[in-house]
Amino acid sequence: MEDSDSMICMQTIDENGQYHGAVATPIFQTSLFAQPDFETFTKVHQKERENFVYSRGVNPTVRALEIKLATLERAEECKCFASGMGAISATMLTLLQQGDHVLFLNTIYGPTRQLLDFLHRYGVSYDHSNPVKSDIERDIKPNTKVIYLESPSTNLMDVADLKAISTLAKQHNIVTVIDNTWSTPLFQKPLEFGIDLVLHSLTKYIGGHSDLIGGAVAGNRKTIDRIFEEGFLLTGSVLSPNDAFLVLRGLSTLPVRMKQHWENAKDVIAYLLHQPEVEHIFHPSQATGETKKIVQNQMKGFSGLLSFSIRDASFEDVRTFINAFTLFKIGVSWGGYESLVIAPIRENNAEKLRSENIPPGLIRLSIGLEGSALQINDLNKGFNALRNR
Ligand SMILES: *Cc1c(COP(=O)(O)O)cnc(C)c1O
């Protein structure tokens, strides 16, 4: 993590020096901005991207957040949205048209896949491929417009070689899009490896307090301006000034939170490595061989979202294990201060999971900020319950 990034996270954005030295960005809770005269109105109304006209377009509090996120991602521009899915939908709707094809790499966030299933009715198709050159080259079609990936992904934490993928995509004139939510811009800056667009769910680490929903996309000015005019303005997935303020507040402690999430997760991983029931730990810190080299080359640190598999676990085993917890809360989402647990197994889906290369005994932990002694103590309750079954 770079100190200059920490400074960006904490910096006050006051483009015109009008906030009286306020260290917290003011919340501009207004739907519209009145203009001083009719000539100005006719001018700014034509250029909503560059002016404060209406908060479905540009709002100063949201704008401050966009400037910070763009700087952190080393992007020319950023646009924020009401949710991560808002950002993903607007980006896809802008980039794709009838007859286009999308190639997914690594496991992809469920609703993102569902979006592409939905776009089938508009003539857009997709396939899954593996993030290796020969497979991608085999699966690229003449109409492939977008290569979309997650690295690390958020279930099995798979990693892809960003430089190799962006190089290959450029040769085929394909736009590359990454969901960078796992790493945050502090630990991975995909644009530096040639990826075109970076997406975030601000709901996770960047917000960090489980009290808001938000999303963002960052990239070159031309593409983000297009996303603004098309996918953003027309779907109206607007981040509220209030939520933008909360994200800015979250951002100011992001560096210290990320350090602590990893400190705690490191201890939890060391503990899990000693439990005989644990078959595998899914986290980029555990990568070996070629993958380890990729991780070292493109990541500057690790977050606290990890999975592990319990050997030969049935639904009842997983149920017993998770229900023994008192600290880890059972719930979706991740990246907040609180520790969370979730598992994909249901009473009758073990075969389906295996067919998707997901171990039925998979447990996903979002390691919060409580402290590793407490977290390990809770995991111990789970393993004891399992052993006493
Ligand atoms: C949560 C999540 C999203 C969606 O973000 P929302 O803010 O919930 O809409 C997208 N990608 C990943 C990897 C996520 O975990």
Q: How far, in Å, is the centroid of ligand 1 from the Cα of 177?
A: 14
Pocket test for ligand 1, best of 177, 181, 209, 213 (most atoms within 8 A of CB): 181
Pocket of ligand 1 from Cβ distances under 6 Å: 83-85, 109, 150, 154, 179, 181, 201, 203-204, 213, 215
Residues 28 and 152 in one domain: yes
Which pLDDT belongs to residue 267?
98
Residues 52 and 91 in one domain: yes
Mutate to test the pocket of ligand 1, among 106, 183, 199, 204 (most ligand atoms within 8 A of CB): 204
For residue 1, is pLDDT > 80?
no
Is residue 92 pLDDT above 90, yes or no?
A: yes
Same-domain check for residues 30 and 124: yes
Over residues 89-113, the mean pLDDT reads 97
Domain count for the chain, please give it.
2
Nearest C-alpha neighbor of 359 from the set 321, 307, 324? 307
Range of the domain at 19: 3-249
Residues 199 and 300 in one domain: no
Quote the tokens at residue 189.
């800056």
| Omega within 30 of 0 (cis) for the link into 152 | yes
pLDDT at 278: 98
C-alpha 34 – ligand 1 centre gap (Å): 35
End position of a domain, from candidates 249, 271, 295: 249
Angle, CA of 254, 30 and 54, to the nearest 5°: 100
Answer yes or no: do 296 and 383 share one domain: yes
- Calculate mean pLDDT across residues 40-56: 95
Among 249, 283, 301, residue at a domain's last position:
249
Shared-domain flag, residues 154 and 284: no
**pLDDT value at 31 more than 90:** yes
Q: Which stretches of 74-122 are DSSP H helices? A: 84-95, 110-119
| Averaged pLDDT of the chain | 97
pLDDT at 347 over 90: yes
Give dist(CA 80, CA 63) in Å, integer.
Answer: 8
Q: Which of 179, 201, 212, 333 to mutate to test the pocket of ligand 1 (most atoms within 8 A of CB)?
A: 201
Q: Cα 84–331–295 angle (5° rounding)? A: 60
Tell which atom from ligand 1 comes closest to the C-alpha of 204: 1
Per-residue pLDDT band for 17 (boundaries 50, 70, 90) equals confident
Same domain as 232, residue 273: no
- How far separated are the first and last CA of the chain, in Å rounded? 44
Q: Which atom of ligand 1 is nearest to the CA of 181?
A: 13
The rounded percent of the chain whose pLDDT value lies above 90 is 97
User: What pLDDT, on a 0 to 100 scale, did the predictor assign at position 60?
Assistant: 96
CA of 199 to the centre of ligand 1 (A): 9
pLDDT band (50, 70, 90) for residue 3: confident
The residue from 195, 216, 249 where one domain ends is: 249
271-302 pLDDT, tens digit each: 999 999 999 999 999 999 999 999 999 999 99
Whether residues 201 and 88 share a domain: the answer is yes
71 CA distance to ligand 1 middle (Å): 21
Is 161 in the same domain as 202? yes
Q: How far apart are CA 273 and CA 281, in angstroms?
A: 8
pLDDT tens for 141-161 read 999 999 999 999 999 999 999
137 and 221 assigned to the same domain: yes
User: 274 CA to middle of ligand 1, Å?
Assistant: 32
User: What's the CATH code of the domain at 179?
Assistant: 3.40.640.10
Same domain, 96 and 12: yes
Do 51 and 78 lie in a common domain?
Answer: yes
CATH of the domain at 289: 3.90.1150.10
Confidence grade of residue 176 (pLDDT, cut at 50, 70, 90):
very high
Residue nearest to atom 6 of ligand 1 (CA): 84
Paired tokens of 156 = 């099995």
What's the CA gap between 103 and 148, in Å, rounded? 6
Reported as a pLDDT band with limits 50, 70 and 90, residue 202 is very high
* Residue 202 CA, closest ligand 1 atom number: 7
Helix axes 254-272, 372-387, angle to 10 degrees: 30
pLDDT above 70 covers what percent of the chain?
Answer: 100
C-alpha Rg value of the chain to the nearest Å: 22
